[in-house]
Amino acid sequence: MKYIDEFRDKGLARRLAETIAAEAHPGRDYRLMEFCGGHTHAIFRYGVQHLMPPNLSFIHGPGCPVCVLPMARIDHAIALATQHDVTLCTYGDLMRVPASERKSLLKAKADGADIRMIYSTQDVLRIARENPDRQVVFFAIGFETTTPPTAVAVKTARAEGLTNFSVFCNHVLTPSALQTILSTAGPDGVQLDGILGPSHVSTLIGSRPYRFVAEQFGVPVVIAGFEPLDVMQSALMLVRQLNDGRCEVENQYTRAVSEEGNRKAQALIDEVFRIRPEFEWRGLGFLPNSALALDDAYADLDAEERFPVEFAPAKEIKGCECPAILRGVKTPTDCKLFGNPCTPDNPMGSCMVSSEGACAAYWSYGRFRAASLQPKVESRS
């Protein structure tokens, strides 16, 4: 496939690995946080960590929107579907994420709620058009990548005068999560030397919004594509910045990311959304200015306004270390539930559900599976 296979070339990967090993100074550590779950996935799938010298490590960040969604928002969505008998539509990634009392959207659906998996916001609009007698709510989630398609749906619904469409909005903003991670980095938090910046988020917002990382926190950033050669080249670019004592925002993923990003999509986001004063992130807590809600001009399409719900405070699953993993201070194997009982077939936390979650990546690519795990645990590799 064009633009995929070329960036998975084994020979080039081997030589990049040799270069990184030759240039990394043996006396220092290179702790690179990959912000995006897409990078985590690539690093595990292609065994990139094993090609790196021992003093270069990847730390998994909070860049998986499914993983950082707090349980309370899924409880809220389930309450919305069950208390108001609406048709709730959402992306497949969310269906199995555990909510309180080991519920999930999938379980609520099995129990009779009208919950549907969609691929695109265009599907939600179609469902709303075809079912004028039912209220159709889009459970919207995602970083800046997934936000503009929601904006398009909102504008289309308004233009068509669809009165049975609304949005339960959970769109979150990448830079504020980075800001939080960096503010708590250091002796008590995660130790970071560089950041692999988001790929597809950056196609939308551009590379410019990451300048504060270099300027304010003195941490170099390389916007990195998701293919293995992209990740490796970006790691080398970070090693070179660190060796030279430079601290810049560099862009490795120039084939899709520009400095200013996709202006048309940004204008849509600005028009349809406003910034929430604060929003809860799993693992990071309530972060100011870190998420979006529908702008006042579209408040009538806001499902939170249209369908007020009541639900008990969320109950986290005891022992699940997702919050610490999302902050980069623990790894999945630090979790006592990892592998037994928590597996992708029986996820206890969000990091095991999404294929971009650190726990799912650790488990699915098996390289870190402890030999001591119970034999009854099914192998997936």
Partner 1 sequence: MCLAIPARITSIDVAADTAKVALGSVGKEISLALIEDAAVGDYVLIHVGYALNKISEEEAQRTLEMIAQMGLLADEQELVPEPTSTVTGPGGQR
Q: CA 191, CA 89: separation in Å to the nearest integer?
A: 39
Identify the residue among 82, 104, 146, 241 touching partner 1 (CB under 8 A): 146
| Near partner 1 in 180-209, by CB under 8 A | 198-201, 203-204
Identify the residue among 165, 226, 279, 281 touching partner 1 (CB under 8 A): 226
| Near partner 1 in 336-355, by CB under 8 A | 354-355
At its nearest, how many Å lie between partner 1 and the CB of residue 259?
Answer: 13
| Near ligand SF4 in 305-324, by CB under 6 A | 320-322
Helix (H) or strand (E) holding 117: strand 115-118
User: Do you find a cis peptide bond into 228, omega within 30 degrees of 0?
Assistant: no
Q: CA 16, CA 10: separation in Å to the nearest integer?
A: 10
Helix axes 147-160, 121-130, angle to 10 degrees: 30
Q: CA 181, CA 59: separation in Å to the nearest integer?
A: 12
Q: CA 222, CA 250: separation in Å to the nearest integer?
A: 5
Residue nearer to ligand SF4 on the CB measure, 76 or 282? 282
Q: Which does 25 bind (CB under 5 to 8 A by kind): ligand SF4, partner 1, none?
A: none
Tokens of 145: 């990548």
36 contacts ligand SF4 (rule: CB under 6 A): no
244 contacts partner 1 (rule: CB under 8 A): no
Rounded alpha-carbon distances, angstroms, from residue 153 to 35, 43, 320, 349:
28, 34, 35, 30
268 contacts partner 1 (rule: CB under 8 A): yes
Which residue is listed with tokens 């969505």? Answer: 77
Question: If we measure between CA atoms, which residue out of 201, 90, 198, 240 comes closest to residue 153?
Answer: 90
Which residues sit opposite 166 in a β-bridge? 137
97 contacts ligand SF4 (rule: CB under 6 A): no
**Phi, psi (rounded to 5 degrees) for 357:** -75, 150
Identify the residue among 90, 262, 290, 350 touching partner 1 (CB under 8 A): 262
Q: Which residues bind partner 1 (CB under 8 A)?
A: 1-12, 15-16, 18-19, 22, 36-38, 41-42, 45, 63-66, 91, 93, 119-123, 141-143, 145-146, 148-149, 152, 198-201, 203-204, 226-227, 229-230, 233, 236, 252-257, 262, 264-265, 268, 354-356
Q: Which residues bind ligand SF4 (CB under 6 A)?
A: 320-322, 325, 332, 335, 337-338, 342, 348-349, 351-352, 359
